[in-house]
Amino acid sequence: MIRSLAIPACLALAACGGTAPEEPPVPEPTAQPDSAQPQSTTQQGTSPIIENQAALDFVPPMANDAAPAPAPSAEPDRVNADGSLAAIPAAWRGRWAGQGGSCADSSDRRLDIEADRLTFYESVAVPQRIERVSERELQLDLSFTGEGQTWQRRTMLVIGDDGRTMRRSEKDTPLITYTKCPDGSGA
């Protein structure tokens, strides 16, 4: 009778969020074993064998857990004969959302950076010269085209220590802060 009450009692305790005792008492063997009860593979005083400890240790990430910041790219910079960079380094490439904007294609505050161009909402800028000022700072001399016009501008792009923010500054233009969009965003 005691054995038949032990299972429902454990289930009720688990459903309430309580904890079971560390070592459940081992029933004394009876003269006639009950063939309907499963036989334990543990000995008194030992814990059951856990075949997949990694599955027990796994804690799924929370939806708001931040992924680690990407490290600067190990891809070496391609350098021209004059010492300028031949392409925008990988750490700067990708889609960026400007302050108050989104990563959507329709956002007028997005910026897509590729190795050879910066694409804004209504204009495209092609680097004429790229200089790495520091590990996280580029100076670009850009040729812009957009809305039937062309113009030249020197731009500074500075990536934050977290690798997820970037500041763009130009002479006579307010500083703009961008946030890196997840890969594949923009639909």
What pLDDT sits at residue 77?
78
DSSP 121-181: SS-EEEEEEEEEEETTEEEEEEEEEETTEEEEEEEEEEE-TTSSEEEEEETTEEEEEEEEP
Separation of alpha carbons 114 and 101, rounded Å: 20
What pLDDT sits at residue 136?
94
Per-residue pLDDT of the chain (187 residues; tens, 9 = 90+): 455 544 544 444 444 444 444 555 555 555 544 444 444 444 454 434 434 333 333 333 333 333 344 444 556 778 888 888 999 999 999 999 999 999 999 999 999 999 999 999 999 999 999 999 999 999 999 999 999 999 999 999 999 999 999 999 999 889 999 999 998 666 4
What pLDDT sits at residue 79?
85
CATH of the domain spanning 90-180, picked from 2.40.128, 1.10.286, 2.60.40, 3.40.1000: 2.40.128
Closest CA to 72 of 3, 145, 8, 135: 135
Domain boundaries, given as residue ranges, for the chain? 90-180
Separation of alpha carbons 104 and 101, rounded Å: 9
What pLDDT sits at residue 26?
55
In DSSP terms, 175 is beta-bridged to: none
What pLDDT sits at residue 183?
82
Amino acid present at 126: V
